[in-house]
């Protein structure tokens, strides 16, 4: 039985792992974006691209950054076990998105900060900065919990 592994096998396995994690990561980032899209009036991509709304941009960017932190931490904590790592990344990424959504709802109910109203403002609002930082740190907290 040959127990040696060629450099080609190692590189091929590594390249496939990178591709699998990248695809999953992008899908989770898109999912996080669309959760914010559901909370905003109109199409979020139009509100950002055409209307150039800084509040919508802050919320979407911070949400995507938070999900990215969770994805990166999940990959790092997988210890090279590809199948388990992909599953953990999927689950933890979805949990991170869910927690961010709950955070938005909580700020709406407890602090009276409505995302729907916020993204209708044409200038950057302090509430958008607060929610943006909250999104980022929810992602960071979730990421650290994964590690």
Three-class SS state of 114: coil
Q: What is the pTM of this model?
A: 0.82
Are 95 and 25 in contact by the 8 Å Cβ rule? The answer is no
Over residues 54-90, the pLDDT tens digits come to 999 999 999 899 999 988 998 888 877 889 889 999 9
Count other Cβ atoms within 10 Å, centred on residue 4. Answer: 5
DSSP one-letter string for 67-84: HHHHHHHHHHHTTT-HHH
Q: Residue range 93-110: average pLDDT?
A: 86
Under the banding of pLDDT at 50, 70 and 90, the label for residue 3 is low
Amino acid 52: pLDDT? 94
Q: What is the pLDDT of residue 109?
A: 86
Q: Do the Cβ atoms of 139 and 69 come closer than 8 Å? A: yes
């Amino acid at each position: 039985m040959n127990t040696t592994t060629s450099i080609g096998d190692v590189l091929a396995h590594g390249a496939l792992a990178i591709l699998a994690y990248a695809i999953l990561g992008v899908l989770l980032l898109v999912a996080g974006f669309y959760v914010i899209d559901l909370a905003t009036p109109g199409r979020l991509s139009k509100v950002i691209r055409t209307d150039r709304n800084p509040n919508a941009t802050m919320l979407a960017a911070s949400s995507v950054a938070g999900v990215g932190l969770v994805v990166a931490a999940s990959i790092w904590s997988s210890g090279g076990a590809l199948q388990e790592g992909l599953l953990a990344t999927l689950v933890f990424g979805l949990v991170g998105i869910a927690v961010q959504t709950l955070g938005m709802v909580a700020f709406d109910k407890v602090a009276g900060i409505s995302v729907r109203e916020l993204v209708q403002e044409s200038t950057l609002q302090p509430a958008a900065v607060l929610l943006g930082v909250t999104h980022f740190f929810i992602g960071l907290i979730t990421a650290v919990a994964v590690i």
